[in-house]
Amino acid sequence: MSEQLVYLDGEFVPMSEAKIPVLDHGLLYGDGIFEGIRAYNGAVFKLDEHLKRFLSAAKAIHLTLPLTSEEIREVVLESCRKNNIVDGYIRLVCTRGADGLGLYPNAKAHGPRLFCIAGQVALYPEEAYRNGLKVVTSSLRRNKATIVDPQIKSLNYLNNILASIEAHRSEADEALMLNEEGLVTECTGDNIFMIKDGVIWTPPVYLGTLDGITRQAVIAIARDLGYPVKEEPFTHFNLLNCDEAFLTGTAAEIIALTVLDGQNIGDGYAGEITMKLLTAFREYTKKPESGVKI
């Protein structure tokens, strides 16, 4: 089997040869942005939406991308073609690329570095979608928008990583993150939804939540199925006492949250509405309008 090819600074190279200098700002300071993207059935899911968020994040951190949006689009598609991806996972990254140890990036030393990895991902086994996840509430608080806005999908993910470590030390699958006011925001790598009396709730992005592409798709799918969806704040108390809860993310898709801090959500198994949404989401990924053909 041939080695996986990675796009890096204008060319496709074998994974073993894809290297970033040790002085790159992305490595030294988490100075860069990324997108995690899925491919389904020979098409890149919501590619244009991912690229829009990628460009918005670049603007927010004053990062001048080395390629246009259309050129980056082709990089993603060609990365899939080069690696024979039909169903898979794509990681698109741009680092500041400035050489030197100083905090201020010296753009004259080296321009931004863009790379794209197209491969496979399997975050949870299929039985987890029936049994759901065990989640604990992190002692860490979600970044405030006045510090580093969580809507920026930056390479600085230490807030999420530390919460994830905390969860796994408690033998949980994920960590719930609250903001400074104690309101539910999201988990370390997923958006969160709860269902109460047939109404679906999810935190608004201004609380400290990434506006997830899967989140957006699920809101639209739920409304098409006739479920009311409210993007409004709620607390740990509300989540603990809801009928069903689930997480959404590019890698996870839709997966039930069934145990929170040692207590069952609902009956402790993936709920009826959650499973209906998962089925509808997976059907939606097969439709031509859901993605860009590779």
We report the CATH number of the domain holding residue 44 as 3.30.470.10
- For residue 104, tell me if it sits in a domain: yes
Number of Cα atoms under 13 Å in the Cβ half of residue 73: 16
State the catalytic residue, choosing from 82, 144, 153, 196: 153
Sort strands 88-95 and 43-45 into parallel, antiparallel or unpaired: unpaired
pLDDT score at 16: 96
Rounded distance between C-alpha atoms, residue 10 and residue 12, angstroms? 7
pLDDT score at 121: 84
pLDDT score at 107: 65
Sort strands 133-141 and 113-119 into parallel, antiparallel or unpaired: unpaired
User: Residue 220 carries which side chain, given as an amino acid letter?
Assistant: A
Answer yes or no: do 161 and 113 share one domain.
no
Answer yes or no: do 107 and 176 share one domain.
no
Residue 61 φ then ψ, to 5°? -105, 15
Answer yes or no: do 245 and 130 share one domain.
yes
Answer yes or no: do 52 and 70 share one domain.
yes
Answer yes or no: do 136 and 249 share one domain.
yes
Answer yes or no: do 199 and 79 share one domain.
no
Last residue of a domain, one of 68, 87, 119: 119
pLDDT score at 124: 87
- For residue 293, tell me if it sits in a domain: no
Answer yes or no: do 159 and 274 share one domain.
yes
Answer yes or no: do 89 and 48 share one domain.
yes
pLDDT score at 100: 81
Answer yes or no: do 155 and 205 share one domain.
yes
Answer yes or no: do 41 and 106 share one domain.
yes
Handedness of CA 66, 71, 77, 81 (dihedral sign): negative
Rounded distance between C-alpha atoms, residue 272 and residue 276, angstroms? 6
Q: Token pair for residue 153?
A: 């999908």
Sort strands 191-196 and 244-249 into parallel, antiparallel or unpaired: antiparallel
- CATH code of the domain containing 186: 3.20.10.10
- For residue 160, tell me if it sits in a domain: yes
pLDDT score at 1: 61
Answer yes or no: do 173 and 67 share one domain.
no
- For residue 291, tell me if it sits in a domain: no
- For residue 290, tell me if it sits in a domain: no
Q: Token pair for residue 90?
A: 């794509």
Last residue of a domain, one of 119, 142, 164: 119
Nearest to 163 by CA among 144, 180, 178, 153: 178
144 is annotated as an active-site residue? no
- Nearest-5° Cα angle at 253, 179 to 255: 70
- For residue 97, tell me if it sits in a domain: yes
Rg (the chain; Cα; Å): 19
Query: H or E stretch including 199?
Result: strand 199-202
User: Residue 26 carries which side chain, given as an amino acid letter?
Assistant: G
pLDDT score at 146: 87
Give the contacts of 294 (CB within 8 A, at least 6 positions apart): 39, 42, 43, 44, 77, 80, 81, 85, 86
DSSP 125: -
Domain that holds residue 132: 126-284
- For residue 22, tell me if it sits in a domain: yes
Sort strands 253-260 and 263-264 into parallel, antiparallel or unpaired: antiparallel
Number of independent structural domains in the chain: 2
Give the contacts of 6 (CB within 8 A, at least 6 positions apart): 12, 13, 14, 15, 18, 79, 115, 116, 117
- For residue 67, tell me if it sits in a domain: yes
Last residue of a domain, one of 66, 87, 119: 119
Q: What is the pLDDT along the chain (294 residues), one digit of tens a residue?
A: 689 999 999 999 999 999 999 999 999 999 999 999 999 999 999 999 999 999 999 999 999 999 999 999 999 999 999 999 999 999 999 999 987 888 888 767 778 999 999 999 877 888 999 999 999 999 999 998 888 899 999 999 999 999 999 999 999 999 999 999 999 999 999 999 999 999 999 999 999 999 999 999 999 999 999 999 999 999 999 999 999 999 999 999 999 999 999 999 999 999 999 999 999 999 999 999 999 999
Answer yes or no: do 92 and 174 share one domain.
no
